[in-house]
Amino acid sequence: MERRRFVAATAITAGALAACSRPPTAGPAAASTQPIHWKMVTSWPANFPGLGAGAARLAEMIGKMSGGRLTVKVFGGGELVPPFEVFDAVSQGTAEMGHSGAYYWKGKAEAAQFFCAVPFGMNAQEMNGWLYHGGGMELWRELYAKFNLVPFAAGNTGVQCAGWFRKEINSVADLQGLKMRIPGLGGEVLQRLGGSPVNIPGAELFTALQTGAIDATEWVGPYNDLAFGLHTVAQHCYYPGWQEPGPTLECMVNKTAFDALPADLQAIVEAAARATNDDMLADYTTQNQRALQTLESEHGISLKPLPDDVIAALRTTSQAVIEEIARKDEFTQRVYDSYRTYLEGAKRWHRVSEMAYYAAR
């Protein structure tokens, strides 16, 4: 009896070992063990401080978190596709990922602009609250689904500067005929006030400003503006960044490619994007203050506040433009209603929290 038991146990063990040594069968579980290689196209110069570096960190993080099962190669604007063709490239599958700003795609869908920056709208903290816990992300994904895309928040610069100008802005009249690089809703507002908005990639800003092709440009803030040398071709830098108070940068993923990933790799992409979103804001908060000190102490540049009447005109016109755009279609109205409701709630709370604390400090 003992001998028979021994023989049976030995047979079971041998069978188990044989099963372990067999090649894996075909199927989703087996496919997920093969390395997956993706491409990411961006709207920024390769490794450009803040924006380009954020895209690179996102790709690096995905590779490390996945143990090399999913790797992402990053292409700067113009290296694989032009900066303003990122949306189409990812939608069509030319690249699996893209890093850009949703307001560049207003020609695809007006509502996209609300997921990047709204003049006199939400700051970075409020945008994150709306997207993650206020229904914003659900609307964003509903909008992008029809383009075969899955969007993620993947960076924020915080409140930007109003821009660099070749001449002083002393009144609303100085906006008449002003050729300025300013995308999204901010460009619509400038146009209503007599200006001429121009949308050109960041890599072309210095030359355009230097040659007089444009009279002014908004870009980001001291950190990036110093890197481009904008202070050498325009002496007047104004604040606050009414046009981009908390611009969310996006990581868009081709939906077909994303759906093909196993659940753990999908979770890694989402977690890496969220970590990048937090890290970029921390980076800009640190680097902008250092760059501002450099501009002031080494280059003699003093940032100036926009005149009160200019701010008032920009605010009034912004509200009119936003409400008009919201009425263009049912979905954009839904997005605007959600955005406005969240903003009003945040403003009520921040009057007795953030704003009260800043005043007290």
pLDDT value at residue 65 = 98
The alpha carbon dihedral of 178, 179, 181, 185 has a sign of positive
355 vs 361: CA distance, rounded Å: 10
CA separation for the pair 55, 60 (Å, rounded): 9
CA 232 – CA 90 distance, rounded (Å)? 36
What is the reported pTM? 0.89
Cβ–Cβ under 8 Å, residues 41 and 86: yes
pLDDT tens track for 123-160: 999 999 999 999 999 999 999 999 999 999 999 999 99
- 34-156+246-286 belongs to CATH 3.20.20.240: no
Q: Look at residue 32 in the predicted model and tell me its pLDDT.
A: 53
- pLDDT, position 15: 42
Written as six digits, the tokens of 186 are 């901010």
Question: Bridge-partner residues for 163, per DSSP?
Answer: 238
Whole-number pLDDT of residue 9: 43
pLDDT of residue 3: 41
- The pLDDT of residue 125 is 98
Q: What residue spans define the domains of the chain?
A: 34-156+246-286
Q: What is the mean pLDDT of each run of 10 residues along the chain (361 residues)?
A: 42 40 40 85 94 97 98 98 98 98 97 98 98 98 98 98 98 98 97 97 95 97 96 97 98 98 98 98 98 97 97 98 97 98 98 98 97
Q: Which of 345, 336, 277, 343 is nearest to 120 (CA)?
A: 343
Tell me, rounded to whole angstroms, the distance of Cα 129 from its chain centroid: 15
Residue 110's pLDDT is 96
Q: Are 246 and 142 in contact (CB under 8 A)?
A: no
Structure tokens at 132: 């993650």
